[in-house]
Amino acid sequence: MNIAIFSDAFYPQINGVVTSIISVASNMAERGHKVIIVAPSYRNLEEIQIPGVKIIRVPSISASFYDDFKWTNPFSFTTYKALRKENIDVVHFMTPIFISMLGIKYARKRGIPVVGTFHTFIADPSYSEHMFSGPLKVSEEVIWKYLNLYYDCADYVTAPTPEAIRIIGANGCKAPLEAVSNGIDFNLFDNSRSAEFRERYGLSDQVVLYVGRVAYEKNIDVLINAFDLVYQKNRDAQLLIVGDGPQRALFEEQAASKESGGNIIFTGAIKHGDLVKSGVFKAVSLFASASTTETQGITILEAQANGLICVGAEEGGLVNLIEDGVNGYLVAPGDSAAMADRISFILENKKTLGHMEEKARQMVDIHRMDKIIDRWEQIYRELYERRGETAGKDYLHFNTLLKFTRELKVDFQYLLDRIRKPRTMWVRSFVAANARIPGKAQLKSGVQRLHRISSTAFHPRRRG
């Protein structure tokens, strides 16, 4: 089959979505399928090479709302033209942004079936509060409506865990839903260099590992606070944070302010191909994550495949990976003290917890990549065979997305705090009168009023 994967998140980004895309694409190509990945362009990029996979880059500009993300043109004629030559059978989109919109529109115009995969809970306040940290604000309910515009356009929707599927359905997605794991390739791991890895970072035999984006939505602050409590009882303990992200400097500053700061190590980003062969999983004692926004958590799967006991927040996809007291421990979201207690217990009793490490290996077996690719082949074939049933389905209209600007609210206090002091007197009176103005029409009216006030303030002759 000829499969086109559309994603706004792709290399050179390093995250779980990218890892999942590369895994599915490379394994499908190994089975003889033709795979095309459509993703944003990056300046001076040395393109990743995936055997049997073709990559089409769409011209892009930087997106201000999140580090490394790009805006692209959802009407790219050159991309349409390139895709027509590939004789695509199935379109698979991974992100609810413009690249995926391009894929949906292309598929509907060509009568091609569409499958969408839900990777990220961007409606969760841990994400949205920082994505919309400027003057524009949007509610969780509105974000779910936006997400459903994309996923309701699909003929089939997947997410990595049953819990993620439950949440998506509960928030209004009407498309057929199924849990399909991101999967994990056990053959990728090589722990023969663990001693070298341990020496490189000066690791003890009491190491807590976190791998992932170093960003607000991963609740790194909760993990650092938990580790500081662990350190009060165990001065040999270390926290190893592997990854990079927009808030790395902030969390490094938080770590430095703690008594345990000298035992918290930030490695920065390590390419996935290098990480799985670095020996890191044998060089540490356990894995911990305080994130509440995981649809699954590929790094959790990787830790479990290497026999690590995992401690995680009891929310999102982690509840389907960690069985409390069996292969790991779940704690209440945001509870640093509870997380510290479980981490300390594992470090103190690791020699007697071999049964939990073995359970971790056994329970992750259902996520083996060969089993996951079997299911993807079935889904793609079934959709292709039923393509006539979906040929008339409508595609996502850009005007529909624009209507969501009416749901935005403007935080004038935010604007006020950033305006020069000489202007604050008249702007403050304007803010007091208008507070928050929802909707595009009202926003336009508000801007016009602000312009009139500013003109009067700076041109005395115009005052009535």
pLDDT score for 463: 40
Tell me the C-alpha distance between 178 and 401, whole Å. 26
Q: Which of 372, 214, 195, 216 is nearest to 301 (CA)?
A: 372
For position 454, what pLDDT does the model report? 42
d(CA 17, CA 8): 10
* Angle, CA of 272, 275 and 281, to the nearest 5°: 130
pLDDT of residue 52: 95
Scanning 318-353, the segments in alpha helix (DSSP H) are 336-349
3-state SS class at 142: helix
- Cβ neighbors of 366 (< 8 A, separation 6 or more) are 181
Model pLDDT, residue 421:
47
The rounded distance, in Å, linking the Cα atoms of 298 and 227 is 22
Binned average pLDDT, 10 residues per bin, the chain of 464 residues: 97 93 97 97 94 96 74 91 95 96 93 96 79 74 92 96 97 97 96 97 98 94 98 98 95 98 97 96 98 95 98 97 98 98 98 97 96 98 89 72 76 64 50 50 50 43 41
SS3 212: coil
- Rg of the Cα trace of the chain? 24
- Please, are residues 181 and 158 in contact by the beta-carbon 8 Å criterion? no
Q: Which of 1, 57, 42 is nearest to 24 (CA)?
A: 1
d(CA 417, CA 344): 44
What's the confidence (pLDDT) of residue 422? 47
**What pLDDT is stored for residue 389 in this prediction?**
79
Q: Give CA 266 to chain center in angstroms.
A: 20
pLDDT at position 441: 52
Separation CA 324–CA 438 (nearest Å): 44
Question: Maximum CA pair distance of the chain?
Answer: 84
Evaluate the omega torsion of the peptide bond into residue 59 and state whether it is cis, within 30 degrees of 0: no
User: Residues 50, 56, 60, CA angle at the centre, nearest 5°?
Assistant: 120
Check residue 445 and give its pLDDT.
54
Question: How high is the pLDDT of residue 275?
Answer: 97
| Per-residue pLDDT at 91 | 97
